[in-house]
């Protein structure tokens, strides 16, 4: 009886050490994709450097409030405040 108890406790100890517990947390990011007339357009988001958007390309930003402005040949065509959510892709249509 004592042998069975010792063997049972030994097996329990060995198997318990192999158990790993944890959580996986995804990185906090929101995505923006631009559509519409992107010809000669320059995009500025918050205080970042202006860039020229590409069709189908996703741009990664942190979740939260962002000020987005779009210029075509130096003329303002879009001034928008967007609220990005975590793990969500938002489409911005450029007129």
- Looking at residue 26, its pLDDT comes to 74
User: Tens of pLDDT along 6-38?
Assistant: 766 666 666 666 666 777 777 789 999 999 999
Sheet with strand 41-45: strands edge to edge: 41-45, 64-72, 75-84
What are the structural domain ranges in the chain?
A: 26-94
Separation in Å, CA 52 to CA 8, 13, 28, 38, 64: 67, 60, 24, 8, 22
- Looking at residue 28, its pLDDT comes to 86
- Looking at residue 67, its pLDDT comes to 96
User: Tens of pLDDT along 38-88?
Assistant: 999 999 999 999 999 999 899 999 999 999 999 999 899 999 999 999 989
CA-based radius of gyration for the chain:
26
- Looking at residue 41, its pLDDT comes to 95
How many angstroms separate the CA atoms of 38 and 28, rounded? 28
- Looking at residue 82, its pLDDT comes to 94
CATH T-level assignment (fold) for domain 26-94 = Immunoglobulin-like (2.60.40)
- Looking at residue 24, its pLDDT comes to 74
Cα maximum dimension of the chain = 88
How many angstroms separate the CA atoms of 91 and 36, rounded? 10
């Amino acid at each position: 009886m004592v042998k069975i108890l010792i063997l049972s406790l030994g097996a329990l100890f060995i198997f318990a050490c192999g158990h790993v517990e944890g959580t996986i947390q995804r990185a906090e990011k929101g995505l923006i994709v631009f559509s519409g007339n992107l010809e000669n357009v320059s995009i500025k988001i918050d205080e970042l450097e202006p860039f020229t958007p590409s069709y189908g390309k996703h741009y990664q930003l942190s979740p939260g409030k962002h000020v987005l402005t779009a210029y075509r040949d130096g003329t303002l065509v879009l001034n928008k405040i967007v609220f990005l959510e975590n793990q969500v892709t938002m489409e911005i249509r450029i007129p």
